[in-house]
Structure 1
Amino acid sequence: MTTFDSTKASLNDLLREIREGKIQLPDFQRGWVWDDDHIRDLLVSIARSFPIGAVMLLEAGGEVRFETRPVEGLEKQIPKDQKPEKLILDGQQRLTTLTQALALDAPVRTTTAKGKKIKRHYYFDIRKAVEMPHALEEAVIAVDENKQLRSNFGRDVVLDLSSQELECQQLYFPCNQIMGSDDWEATLHQVAPEHFGTYMTFRSQILAPFRSYQLPVILLKKETSKEAVCLVFEKVNTGGVQLSVFELITASYAADGYNLRDDWFGSKVRNVESRRARIEQDDLLKGTEATEFLQAISLLHTFEQRLADIAAGKTGKQVRPVSAKRADVLQLPLSAWQQWADDLEAGFKLVGRFLRKECFYSRKELPYSTQLVPLAAVLARLGDRWLEPRIYDKLARWYWCGVLGELYGGAVETRMANDYEELLRWFEDDEALPRTVRDASFQPDRFDTLRSRLSAAYKGINILVLREGSKDWFWKASIRELDASEIALDIHHIFPRNWCESTGIAREEYDSILNKTPISYKANRKIGGDAPSEYLPRIQQEKQVGLSDEEMDALLTSHAIAPELLRANDFYRFIEDRRRRLAGLIESAMGKKVNQAYEQEEYASDFQEQ
C-alpha cells in the first residue's frame, strides 16, 4: 500500500487553505526565518514561472497526532481549537513567505541579510516590470511598515505609498493584492485612468503567472507512521535542521494536552520546575539529554510490555522485545512517561551515587554517557536494592566491562536493551551472565595505543589508578582530594618526553597511558625534562616536600609504579612492569583475565536500522 500521493495544487488554493486554517504547521517545525533578500528572490521566481520546489503535506486525523499551530501571521485569525486537514512537513519557509507577502495586510516581519529585524511591505514597480521583464529583481521593492521609503537615515521620505490612491498614481502594485486586485483596479480607474493600459500589460505579464502558478505537492497519507514522518522531515528539510526524538514526542504529547517541554525544561511563566535541572543538581549528571531520558523510559516501558506478553502466554515473535531504538521510543505513549518519569528521575540520581562509589567525581571523567541509560533504568527498577552487596558487585562488574571493553561507543541501542533485561536476570541467577560481561575483553597491547585522555578505556584506567589512593608527588594529599579542591592537575609523562626523545625512544613507545599518570602542576614543573633519577631527588629535597626515599617510593607505588625501575631509568622494564600492574587493576574491575579474548557478538542490526 502506497503511503503518499503526488499531485499539483495551485498557489492560490494553497494560500486560501492556509488562511482558513485547513493547512497548518506541526508544532515541531521551527519558526520562519527567511530574510528580505530571500523574499524578493521568491517573488521574482514565481513572476517568471520558475520552479520553486515541491511542498510536502501530511494528512491530519491519523494515529500520528501532533500539536499544531497556524502559519506565522495568522495566529489571531484562526481559532485555537480549529483542527487542520493537512500539516506542512516541507515547504514551511516558502509557504510562510508567500502567505505573509501575498495574503496578509500586515507588514512582513523579516530581517536584513545581517539579521536585523525589520517590517516590510512588498511592491512591484509596474513601469520597471513592464519595461524590463528580464530584470524583475529591480522591479521588486520593499517599503517600511508605514509604506514609505526613506533616505538620509530615515529623515527624508523618497517614496510614499501609504494610501491606495498614492499606489495607483505612482504605479506601484502591492503584492498582497496579487491574487485578487478588483479593489485596486477600481481605485486605479478613478485616480489614474491614463495608466490603465500599462497596468493591463503588467497584469498579463506578472499577475497572471502568480494566479496560474502550480506547485508540486507530495501528500503523505494519514496512515504514515510517526517514525516515517520524523525520517521524512529530516530528509527533506532544506535548512539542514535535524529533528530530535524529543521534539517529535513533545508535539505528539501536546495533542493530548501534556506539555513535555515544560516538564523537561521547566517554565517560569507556568511555574513548572525543570526535571532536567533537578537531575543536573548532581554535577556528574550535567548534560543529561532528553533523548537519553526517553530511551531509558522506553527500556522500562517495553520491558513491562514484554512481561505482559509472556504472562498472557504469547511466544516467539508475539512477545514484544525490550527496546531503546528510535522507532520504539517514538511510539512511547503519554501513559509511559507519566508512569515512569518520576521513578527514572530517581534512577538517574542513583546513577550519581553509584558513580561516586566507583570513584567518579567529575562529568569529564565519565567514559560513556550512553551506558548511563540502561544503568538509570535498572536503578529505577531496583530502588534501594542496588546497595545489596550481591547486586552491587554485579552492577559494578558490568559497568567496568562496558567501559574497559569499550562496548558503549557508536550505535548501542541493542546493547542497552540486552543489558537492561540481562542484568535484571543476572541479579536473580548467577549463571545468567550478561553479554556485555561475557563479551568484554582487554588485550595487553591495547595499553600501547591508549594515548588520548578522551577515550573510554583511558578514562577508566585513570579512575582505577586514582581509586587505589594515588598520592601527589608534591602536595600532601591524594590526587582525588586535589581534584576536588580544584588544584590544577596534569596527566604527565612519567619518563619525560624530552628525556625519551634524547635517549632515542620512539614516540609510540613513550606516549601511551603506560608512561602517564595524574599529578599536580607543581610536581609537573619539578619534573621538567630530566631523567627520573634526577627529578625524584629534586622533588624529595624541596623544603615544602621533604620526603625520604621510602616515603617517595610509597607515593610512586600508589600510582601503580615500580619505584626501583623508575629510579634506575630502566624505561623498557618499567613499561612492562606497569603494564602488569595496570592489568591487575583491570582484572579486578572486570572480574576476568586481561589476556582472555572472548568472541564478541555482532551488533550489526544497530547499524542496519539507523
Structure 2
Amino acid sequence: MKSDISTKLATETAYFSQLIADIKKGEIKIPQFQRKFVWKDDQALDLLDSVANRYPIGSVLLWKTVEKLNAARDIGSFRLPTTDEITPTNYVLDGQQRLTVMYSCLGASESEGGYTAAYDLVNEIFIEIKGPISRPEIFPLRKMFNTTSLLNYRTSLLNLPNAAILQERLDDIISAFTQYKLPVVTLKDLTIEEVCPIFERINSSGTRLSTYDLMVAATWAEDFDLNEKVASVLSALDSKGYGSTERSTILKALSAVHSGSIQDKSLRELRNLSTVQIESLAELTESALRSAVDALSTQFLIHSWDFLSYEAVLLVATYIFRDAKELSALQANRLRQWFWRASFGERYKIGGENFVSRDLEVVKAYVLSGDGNGEQFGLVPNSKDWGNIQFKSNVSRSRSYILALASAAPRNLANGMSIDVQSALSGYNKKEYHHVYPRAYLKAIGEPLESNALGNIVMLTSTSNKTISDSPPSKYVPVIVAELGKDADAVFISNLLPKPSSFNYKNANYSDFLAARGKIISDHVAGLIS
C-alpha cells in the first residue's frame, strides 16, 4: 500500500510580505528546472490586476526538505535574490511564476534590475517601468513594503491638484496587496521518491514538471550540470540526425546503461552517483548511443529521431551496445529479427517503462547470446494484411513499412533514377509517398476495400507524385512502362510492385493488385528478417 502523505501536508495562507521575507532569507527557493514556459510581461500585469481586484490567483505548492537542489535566480527578466544555503529549504513545486513576479515587482529594492512595475493612479492601470518615471502619479510598486519610501511618496501626492483622489486610490492599492492572502500548501519531510510523482502530476499553465526536471536539479553541483551533459551527448548525435532526441530519453539511456532499467526509481537513483561516476556513465552511454544510432541508420535506414517508431527501440539498442562494441554476422541477423518483428508487431505500443525495462535484458540475451527465438518479439503481417492495415504516419507499422520500402532501394517510377531515401526518411513528408490506386479514383468507382492500405502506398518523389496525380494505374502505368523500356520490370520490382511483364495493370482491379503486391511485400520482409 502506498504511504499516506496527507500527514506530511500543511495548508495555510500567507501575506505577500511574509513570502517576500522568506525569499530574501533563502527559506523559499525556485528549483533550477528546464522550463519551456516563461511568463510574458502582459501576464505579469494581469496577475497584479487580479490581486488589485481581490481575485483568486491560485495557490503555491512548496516542498520543505533538507535535500539541496540548484536554485534559480533569474527567470526571464524576473530576478530573485542570491542567498546563503538554509536548512531546511522550501522549494517551489508549483507557483514559481507567480512568486517570482510578486518578488520582482514588490520585494526587490528600487535600485535593483529585472522586471519592475508601477500603478498609474490616474488611469488606474498597471504598467511596466522601462525607464525614468516622468509623471508623479505613477506609483512604483517596489515602494509598497518600504515604509519610509512609501510615506514619502504618499506625502508627495499632496502637491498635486487631485491629491485626495490619488491618495485614496493609492491606499486602496496598498490595502489590496498588503491584505491579500495566498493559499500555501507545504509538503514536509518527503523524499525525492515521494515528491517525484507529485511533480509529474503538476500541470501549471501548460508546463509539466518531469523526472528529468527533478534529476537536473537533484544532481546539480558547481562542477556538474546534467543539462549540459545531456546537451553534449545530443550534440554528438546531431550529425547522425538524432540531435532532436528527447532529453528525457537520454536520461533513460543513462539509467539503462547504469542499471538495466528505465523505471522512475532507477532514474532517480542516478542522483546517488558521484560527479566522477556520472561523468564516466555519460561517456559510456554516449559511446553506446553512437553505436546504436549507427546500427539503426545503416541496418534499418532510420536516419533521424523523428522517424523512430518507438523510443524503446533506441533504448534497447543502446543497452545492447553497452556490452558489444560491434556485432558478429549472426548477432546482426538476430538484431534484425528483433527490430522488424518488434516494429511490425507493435511490441512497444503498450507496456510502458516496466515492460521496456524487462525487455532490455531479454533482447540483449537474444541478440548477443541467441537465448530464445525471434518470434517472441512479434509477428509480421501476412500477405493479406497489407491490404487491410491503414497507413498512418504516427503508427509503428506504417513507419516500418516505409523503412521496408526504402530497404529495396526504390527507383523513381517516372524516370528510373534512384530515390534519395535518406531525404525521404528524414521525416514524414507526405509528398514523398503516393497511392498506387489514387483514393479519389477508388472512391469514384465505389471500391469497398481500404484505399489507404499499406499495400497501396509507394515511395515517390514529389515530381512523380504530381505526374501521376489522380490517374488510375490502367492509364499511367502503360505510359511509364513505355518510357522506362527494358528497365520497367526492374524499376517496379525496386518499389515492391508487381512486374508489368507479368501483371496486367490495364485490366487488373484493386483487389487483384493488393493480392499480388501483398505476396511481394511479405517475401521482402521475410528476407529482411532472415
TM > 0.5: yes
Distance 1:501 1:328 in 2: 52
Aligned pair partner of 1:69 in 66, 72, 96: 72
Instruction: Flag the 1:74–1:17 CA change in 2: closer, same or farther, 3 A.
Output: farther
Paired AA for residue 569 in structure 1 = N
Query: Do 2:343 and 2:396's aligned partners in 1 also have CA atoms closer than 8 Å?
Result: yes
Offset at residue 480 of structure 1 (A):
5.3
Cα deviation digits, residues 403-434 of structure 1 (max 9, x gap):
11122335632332122111232246534347
Paired AA for residue 260 in structure 1 = L
Any idea what SS the aligned residue of 1:576 has? helix
Any idea what SS the aligned residue of 1:57 has? strand
Give the aligned partner of residue 233 of structure 2. 275
Cα deviation digits, residues 78-112 of structure 1 (max 9, x gap):
346666722222232332233233333327978xx
Give the aligned partner of residue 133 of structure 2. 148
Any idea what SS the aligned residue of 1:68 has? coil
Distance 1:491 1:250 in 2: 41
Instruction: Flag the 1:200–1:409 CA change in 2: closer, same or farther, 3 A.
Output: same
1:375 is aligned to 2:303:
no
Query: Do 2:301 and 2:425's aligned partners in 1 also have CA atoms closer than 8 Å?
Result: no
Give the aligned partner of residue 329 of structure 1. 267
1:8 is aligned to 2:13:
yes
Offset at residue 282 of structure 1 (A):
0.8
Offset at residue 341 of structure 1 (A):
1.7
Give the aligned partner of residue 565 of structure 1. 503
Offset at residue 575 of structure 1 (A):
1.9
Aligned pair partner of 1:296 in 244, 248, 253: 253
Query: Do 1:531 and 1:569's aligned partners in 2 also have CA atoms closer than 8 Å?
Result: no
Distance 2:87 2:420 in 1: 59
Any idea what SS the aligned residue of 1:383 has? coil
Query: Do 2:79 and 2:100's aligned partners in 1 also have CA atoms closer than 8 Å?
Result: no
Give the aligned partner of residue 44 of structure 1. 52
Paired AA for residue 339 in structure 1 = S
Distance 2:512 2:223 in 1: 68
Instruction: Flag the 1:479–1:569 CA change in 2: closer, same or farther, 3 A.
Output: farther
Distance 1:365 1:210 in 2: 52
1:121 is aligned to 2:118:
yes
Offset at residue 509 of structure 1 (A):
4.1
Deviates more, 1:289-298 or 1:458-467: 458-467
CA RMSD of aligned residues (A): 4.1
Paired AA for residue 557 in structure 1 = I
Any idea what SS the aligned residue of 1:371 has? helix
Give the aligned partner of residue 400 of structure 1. 340
Paired AA for residue 350 in structure 1 = S
Give the aligned partner of residue 217 of structure 1. 184
Offset at residue 445 of structure 1 (A):
4.7
Instruction: Note the residue ranges of structure 2 that are not aligned, 5 or more in a row.
Output: none
Distance 1:566 1:229 in 2: 66
Instruction: Flag the 1:241–1:567 CA change in 2: closer, same or farther, 3 A.
Output: closer
Paired AA for residue 348 in structure 1 = L
Paired AA for residue 539 in structure 1 = I
Paired AA for residue 69 in structure 1 = A
Give the aligned partner of residue 346 of structure 1. 287
Query: Do 2:80 and 2:100's aligned partners in 1 also have CA atoms closer than 8 Å?
Result: no
Any idea what SS the aligned residue of 2:325 has? helix
Paired AA for residue 44 in structure 1 = A
Cα deviation digits, residues 137-192 of structure 1 (max 9, x gap):
x645547455534xxxxxxxxx236xxxxxxxxxx765434445356547877995
Paired AA for residue 221 in structure 1 = K
Give the aligned partner of residue 586 of structure 1. 525
Distance 1:120 1:8 in 2: 25
Offset at residue 451 of structure 1 (A):
2.7
Paired AA for residue 56 in structure 1 = L
Query: Do 2:24 and 2:83's aligned partners in 1 also have CA atoms closer than 8 Å?
Result: no
Cα deviation digits, residues 302-346 of structure 1 (max 9, x gap):
23xxxxxxxxxxxxxxxxxxx313343233224463232222222
1:253 is aligned to 2:219:
yes
1:85 is aligned to 2:89:
yes
Give the aligned partner of residue 310 of structure 1. none
Deviates more, 1:91-100 or 1:140-149: 140-149
Cα deviation digits, residues 422-467 of structure 1 (max 9, x gap):
1232246534347x83444535553212233543222322332442
1:243 is aligned to 2:209:
yes
Paired AA for residue 324 in structure 1 = I
Cα deviation digits, residues 361-386 of structure 1 (max 9, x gap):
643654334411111221122112x2
Aligned pair partner of 2:107 in 87, 103, 109: 103
Instruction: Flag the 1:290–1:529 CA change in 2: closer, same or farther, 3 A.
Output: closer
Query: Do 1:188 and 1:196's aligned partners in 2 also have CA atoms closer than 8 Å?
Result: no
Deviates more, 1:394-403 or 1:197-206: 197-206
Give the aligned partner of residue 160 of structure 1. 136
Paired AA for residue 257 in structure 2 = L
Any idea what SS the aligned residue of 1:451 has? coil
Aligned pair partner of 2:489 in 548, 553, 566: 553
TM-score (norm: length of structure 2) = 0.80
Aligned pair partner of 1:442 in 347, 363, 381: 381
Larger Rg over CA atoms: 1
Cα deviation digits, residues 579-607 of structure 1 (max 9, x gap):
2222223334456xxxxxxxxxxxxxxxx
Instruction: Flag the 1:420–1:520 CA change in 2: closer, same or farther, 3 A.
Output: same
Any idea what SS the aligned residue of 1:220 has? strand
Paired AA for residue 69 in structure 2 = F
